[in-house]
Amino acid sequence: MNKIIIGSILCIVVLLGAVTLGLGLGYLSFSNTAAGFEVDIKATYDNNKNVYDNGFKKVIEMAQVPAMQVDALKAVYDTAMKGRYGADGSKAMMQMIKEENPKLDQGTFVKIQQTIEIFRNEFQANQTTLISRKQAYDRFLNATTSGRIFNFIGHYPRIDLDKYSIMTSDRTESDFQTKRGAAIDLKGAMAPATTKP
């Protein structure tokens, strides 16, 4: 009889040990995955800042080029005119000269527009990635049975997810708050949104 009791106790101990080990390993897996989500969310947010900062700087630097072209054009034009007509200009009543004056290259403006579009598209893609990572993390914590059980012990998230939100404009925030959006006015597109109470 003692062998049966000892065998039963050993079976119970082994079973409890296996359950405890299974729960422990399950929690470790849960904790590792949750920590991985948090690292990914932080990195994606930092990458958003990187894309925004570099894109913004690129556009500003490119936008300076037309002003530099105008200055260079003025210098070339002034030199060309003085070379043709002297320091005081032409004194002739009528000139029968076909002139070919320097022109400002409009391709720079097209390139700036293209750069802005590329920058905006890349930034939007990165913001969408951040939203997706936060959504997957929320689903992992709250939409799975194991996530809810293990999170009772783990208390995730351990980072403030609101700190890692996407960046929007005042106009977008206002439109979503009032639930009203106006048509885009291309002439005044950057004017602040007006809201009615």
Tell whether 192 is covered by a domain: no
**Chain centre to alpha carbon of residue 178:** 25
Domain hosting 139: range is: 37-145+158-168
58-84: pLDDT as tens digits: 877 877 777 776 676 677 666 666 666
Where residue 191 falls among pLDDT bands split at 50, 70, 90? Answer: low
What's the pTM value of the predicted model, to 2 decimals? 0.67
Q: Looking at beta carbons, which pairs linking 59-68 to residues 24 or more positions away fall under 8 Å?
A: 59/112, 59/115, 59/116, 59/119, 62/108, 62/111, 62/112, 62/115, 63/112, 65/108, 65/112, 66/104, 66/108, 66/109, 66/112
Where residue 170 falls among pLDDT bands split at 50, 70, 90? Answer: confident
Tell whether 15 is covered by a domain: no
Tell whether 50 is covered by a domain: yes
Tell whether 73 is covered by a domain: yes
Which residues make Cβ contacts (< 8 Å) with residue 177, sequence separation at least 6? 195
Tell whether 112 is covered by a domain: yes
Residue among 133, 176, 128, 103 at smallest CA distance from 42: 133
Tell whether 191 is covered by a domain: no
104-126: pLDDT as tens digits: 667 777 888 888 888 889 999 99
Tell whether 46 is covered by a domain: yes
The total number of structural domains that make up the chain: 1
Tell whether 69 is covered by a domain: yes
